[in-house]
Amino acid sequence: MSRLKADIGLLFVALVWGATFPVVKVALDYVPPFTFNTMRFFLSSALFVLISAPHARRFLWKLRASFRDGFRIGFAVFLGYSLQTLGLKVTTATNAGFITSLYVVLTPVVSWLLYRTRIRAKDAFCTTLALLGMILLSVNGLSDVSAEVGDLLLLGCAFAFAAEISMISHHSRLRDPDSLAFWQIVTVAVLSLPFSLEEGAILHPVINGVVIFSLVITAVFATVIARILQNRLQSITMPADAAVIFSMEGVFSHVFSALTLGEVLSPLQYAGAFAIVLAVIISSLTSC
């Protein structure tokens, strides 16, 4: 496969991820956050098992070896998706998409906190620029410079996803990437279950066309298919290509949110969104 085809495939992955923000926001009108995540990730786990069935014996051996590291990474993923879904409940899908993409910028900072990896002056600049962009994106008016609760939850989500990326980079040299991915998905499902029981909807969930469509998009396309494509196509294309393409996730979230939910940003918020995308691109290119 050519590098161009790989880039087009990764652009499809970013498009699917961006599309999930308005899709999940609408689904949350019918299903509580943890109930939705429980259904999504148990379905993803089942699909992952089906895909791995032809190589079950070899895959089971790899699973045993990667359980501990996979669970640790999965806990970060659980925090990320929990905060993201809770944030989506109270903020716009557009803000969710752009603020979540901050994980690219925050990864060097989190890597330094976890593993004392080198952090450069450019990393500090990109982090400052991205956080400034988030403040502008969260502003309701020139007299209101306080971030909304939902946006703060999404900032926590970005930190959690940055921890995920940092831990994957640290552990994937020693463990099988597919088995680590499987344990991440299972961990999110299992940890979400007690909270969904507390919500009280998991035993009698609302199942309608909107919820089914949302589960198909998020579980099948955004979790299983997107992860498989990402792992395979990133080995073909250049790291800089992949990083810049994934920075489009926030842009796609806004496009789909504008088309489906009618979300429109103010000029100040567009400036903030631009600052975030610019910070993500600079961080990605200078780290490759």
159-207 pLDDT, tens digit each: 998 898 888 777 766 777 778 888 889 999 999 999 999 998 888 888 9
Residue 143 banded pLDDT, cuts 50, 70, 90: very low
Task: Kindly report each contact of residues 254-260 with a partner whose C-beta sits within 8 Å and lies 24 or more positions away, as own/partner.
Answer: 254/18, 254/94, 254/97, 254/98, 255/18, 256/18, 256/19, 256/21, 256/22, 256/23, 256/93, 257/21, 257/22, 257/25, 257/92, 257/93, 257/94, 257/97, 258/94, 260/22, 260/26
Give the mean pLDDT of 221-231: 83
Token pair recorded at residue 220: 């099948």
pLDDT exceeding 70 applies to what percent of the chain? 91
Q: Count up the domains in the chain and report the number.
A: 1
Give me the pLDDT at residue 189, please: 95
254, 203, 226, 277: which is closest to 35 by C-alpha? Answer: 203
Which is more confident, 248 or 243? 248
Residue 144 banded pLDDT, cuts 50, 70, 90: very low
Per the prediction, the chain carries an average pLDDT of: 85
Residues sharing a CB contact under 8 Å with residue 90, sequence separation 6 or more, in sequence order: 148, 149, 150, 153
Q: Radius of gyration over alpha carbons of the chain, in Å?
A: 18
Q: Which of 130-134, 156-160, 224-228 has the highest mean pLDDT?
A: 156-160
Q: Which domain holds residue 251?
A: 3-286
Which is more confident, 69 or 243? 69
286, 285, 287, 282: which is closest to 129 by C-alpha? Answer: 282
Which is more confident, 144 or 209? 209
Give me the pLDDT at residue 285, please: 67
Longest dimension (CA), the chain: 61
How far is residue 221's CA from residue 215's CA, in Å, rounded to a whole number? Answer: 9
Per-residue pLDDT tens digits for 151-162 = 899 999 999 988
Token pair recorded at residue 142: 């020139």
Residue 240 banded pLDDT, cuts 50, 70, 90: low
Predicted model pTM: 0.84
Give me the pLDDT at residue 134, please: 82
Residue 140 banded pLDDT, cuts 50, 70, 90: low
Check pLDDT > 70 for residue 76.
Answer: yes
Give me the pLDDT at residue 231, please: 67
At residue 115's C-alpha, the angle toward residues 284 and 84, to 5°, is 60
At residue 198's C-alpha, the angle toward residues 197 and 200, to 5°, is 65
